[in-house]
Amino acid sequence: MAYAFQTRIELECADGFYPRSDLSTYQSDDFELRLGDLHYRDVREYVVGRNTSAGWQERRDATNDPLPVTRVWTDFLPQQEVERVVPARSDGVEFGMEALARAAVSGAEAVSAALDSLPELYAEWRRG
């Protein structure tokens, strides 16, 4: 008997893998979920990991048209570059982790003062 822990499994198919859409929130009554579906309507996934992450290689031809995804894999230590998000407005809200850590050491009142405006700014952002 043998066990394989956190292995990487990789598959290749010259014809390409068939993409699928995430239909888990299809016809949901939750506005946020429906809005997410709208924003990501053109996003497809080609493989799903269970207790692991999964990835695939997207390619394009010379005219920048997508080619079939021919390689997929599981990955227990995924890496992804994420664009930095800078708040449009942060009046009275502390976003620096070091400053928030110092506030946490000082106590609840310091944390509250650092984040006090956040709910109001979020509500304003939600209203558009």
3-state per-residue secondary structure call for 52-101: CEEEECCCECCCCCECCCCEEEEECCCCCCCCCCCCCCCCCCCCCHHHHH
Please tell me the distance from the alpha carbon of residue 78 to that of residue 85, in angstroms, as a whole number.
21
pTM assigned to the model: 0.50
Average pLDDT over every residue of 95-102: 91
> Amino acid identity, residue 19?
P
Task: Give the pLDDT score at 41.
Answer: 83
pLDDT over 90 at 14, yes or no: yes
The DSSP 8-state label assigned to residue 10 in this structure reads E
